[in-house]
Amino acid sequence: MQLSGLHNKVAVITGASRGIGRAVAERLAGERTHLVLNSRKEEPLKAVAEACMAHEAETVYLCADVGEAATAEQMVRLALHRFGRLDVLVNCAGAVIEAPLGILEDEEIQRQVATNVLGVTWMSRAALKPMLKQRSGVIINFSSVLAARPGRGNAVYAGTKGYVESFTRAMAAELGRKQIRVNAIAPGIIATDMTRPVMNLAGAAVLERIGLHRVGTVQEVAAVAAFLASDEAAYIHGAVIAVDGAFSGF
């Protein structure tokens, strides 16, 4: 069954070349949403765009770094030039480098802050220009279970995701009267390239911390994103939704 309010809408998705970002793109493509995709790597992004077009979803893409303010402006201009509007922004691009703070290099800290903090900020600011004119829109940010339950080696990453959650709530307070909904998704341990090293090293111990005793799938996260983007979630605003199988919950 199709979700209401997504057919022929226009969505910008960052970090769309793999993992959760790719799954969100393909799920929205299945809803016949027009897509503007972003990643820093062209070949995998092109492959995702082709997969989305196979669902008969009009799709364009831009390879650029969301940590730079100019990228956000380019993405929104591309959406407006190609489709004439922007209805949904999914801030999925993320960078994580697991290491104790004391040994992180400057560029490793800067990469995480640029992508996870500035990328979300630049993209949201750029998207607001057409959304405010339309008096409608949806922004979906991606946090992490580590924002609330960080572990060793996650100080910078967890801190950036804490920003995402506070930013989401503040933007919701600011934009509700403008009929622009802002929510965040906080995935737990999801089967992606990012989590594979952890699962290979300590998979049994990780599963013991998950209430459902299994890792999640990118499709399960994408389903929540599609729901939040749809009219079915019209009264969900300012929420941070955990998709984590009750990580450390039992």
Q: Catalytic residues, which ones?
A: 157
**Is the backbone of residue 163 left (phi > 0), alpha (psi -120 to 50) or beta?**
alpha
- As a whole number of angstroms, the distance between CA 184 and CA 165 comes to 7
Strand partners, 88: 11, 138
Extended beta strands in 66-143, E state: 88-91, 137-142
Q: Which amino acid is at 167?
A: F
Among 200, 196, 165, which Cα is nearest to 182's?
165
Helix (H, G, I), strand (E, B) or coil at 242: strand
| Beta-sheet pairing, 10-13 with 59-63 | unpaired
Among 36, 27, 18, 177, which Cα is nearest to 93's?
18
Residues 6+ positions from 175 with CB-CB distance below 8 Å: 128, 181, 182
Question: How many Cβ atoms sit within 10 Å of the Cβ of residue 107?
Answer: 10
Look up tokens 């650029």; give the residue: 64
| Beta-sheet pairing, 137-142 with 180-187 | parallel
